[in-house]
Amino acid sequence: MNNIGIAINPSKDKDDKILKRVVNKFKNKFNLNDISVFNSFDIGEQNLEDIDLLVVLGGDGTLLGIARSLNETFHGPILGINIGNLGFLSSVEISNIDFALNKLYEGKYNVVDRMMLNCIVEDENTKEEVTALNDIVLARGTLSRMVKFTIFVDGKIYTTFKGDGLIVATPTGSTAYSFSAGGPFISPELELITITPICPHTKSMQTIVLSGKSMVEIFADHDEEKIYLTVDGQKSIRITQETSVKISKNNKNFKLLLFDDYDYFKVLRSKILNNSKECDGDKL
């Protein structure tokens, strides 16, 4: 990899100590004279056509923001180095940077595709299109009453239910809000869409797992109460009574670089299930 770019979340490294350390280590390991450095907040405005690998320094939120913001000039993979909190999506912790560089130098890694969602939010006056790596959430405002949701799948009505909201998630997002709401874990290499209700008023509304080829359309009947659509927990859009929300698989996948000894289930146990160290070794 001749051209390496590094995207940093400045709020995680206000004095640039981590950035300088990582830049120097990459330069020394790969004998590079220069490395392009980007601010993660404006990555979508940058021309990344010549970048072979984009290293992201931050946490899960940084990776989610970059996944949505990357423009068509970038075609390479992402290497996430966690300098945040959870770091479930990251390939490696900052404490293991030397290990990661050795693996990268030796070519001991795989590039995997993670499915993303495309969402069209449209009413009689406006139309907005957004993408998501984790999930699209429709939920009532803090003081609002329950909302009546009507869900169509591939043009056919699936169900109508009342509740606080619903979560449409990718396999990557199945370990996030969807899991907290009772949804299942979905292996990240699959291309599936899950719909999970948030506090449904009836138990007849359960999580459904759909083909990644499905088109989901949602209408929220809320009597002018405040309803919001949230993208990856970061971007919010106000929903009106006439709003149609159409969700489908995005044509572009998120390319993630993972090392050859990456163990999804180990990460799931240690980062999400919070098992003890005794359950995290060779005994399993």
35-63 residue pLDDT tens: 999 999 999 999 999 999 999 999 999 99
Other beta carbons within 10 Å of 250: 20
- The least confident of 39-48, 168-177, 188-197 is 39-48
Rounded to the nearest 10 degrees, the angle between the axes of helix 97-105 and helix 17-30 is 30
Residue 249 has pLDDT above 50, yes or no: yes
Each domain of the chain, given as residue ranges in start order, spans 4-108+260-272, 116-251
Q: Are 208 and 158 contacting, i.e. CB atoms less than 8 angstroms apart?
A: yes
Quick check: 278 pLDDT over 80? no
Binding residues for NAD(+), by number, are 60-61, 134-135, 145, 162, 164, 175-180, 234
Q: What is the pLDDT of residue 225?
A: 72
pLDDT band for position 282 (50/70/90)?
Answer: very low
Span 126-150, average pLDDT: 89
Question: Which residues sit opposite 157 in a β-bridge?
Answer: 152
At residue 203 the predicted structure's pLDDT band, cuts being 50, 70 and 90, is confident
Our CA dihedral for 230, 133, 18, 72, rounded to 10 degrees, sits at -110
Average pLDDT over residues 144-155: 90
The CATH class that applies to domain 116-251 reads: mainly beta
Q: What is the mean pLDDT of residues 5-20?
A: 92
Q: Which ranges of the chain would DSSP assign to H, the alpha helix?
A: 17-30, 60-69, 97-105, 177-180, 264-267
Sign, CA dihedral 100-110-212-240, equals: positive
Say whether pLDDT at 242 is over 80: yes
Whether 282 sits among the annotated catalytic residues: the reply is no
Alpha carbon distances (Å) from 269 to 126, 173, 282: 43, 16, 13
Catalytic residue chosen out of the listed positions 60, 113, 123, 154: 60
Question: Where is the binding site, in residues?
Answer: 60-61, 134-135, 145, 162, 164, 175-180, 234
Spatial neighbors of 143 by CB under 8 A, at least 6 apart, are 226
CA dihedral 126, 250, 270, 53 (to 10 degrees): -110
The whole-angstrom separation of Cα 65 and Cα 43 is 9
Torsion 228-229-231-235 (CA) sign: negative
CA gap 118, 251 in Å, rounded: 8
Is pTM, for the whole model, over 0.95?
no
Q: How far apart are CA 167 and CA 194, in angstroms?
A: 8
pLDDT greater than 80 at residue 189: yes
pLDDT in tens, 154-166: 999 999 999 999 9
Q: What local confidence, expressed as pLDDT, does residue 140 receive?
A: 85
Q: Domain 4-108+260-272: which topology?
A: Rossmann fold (3.40.50)
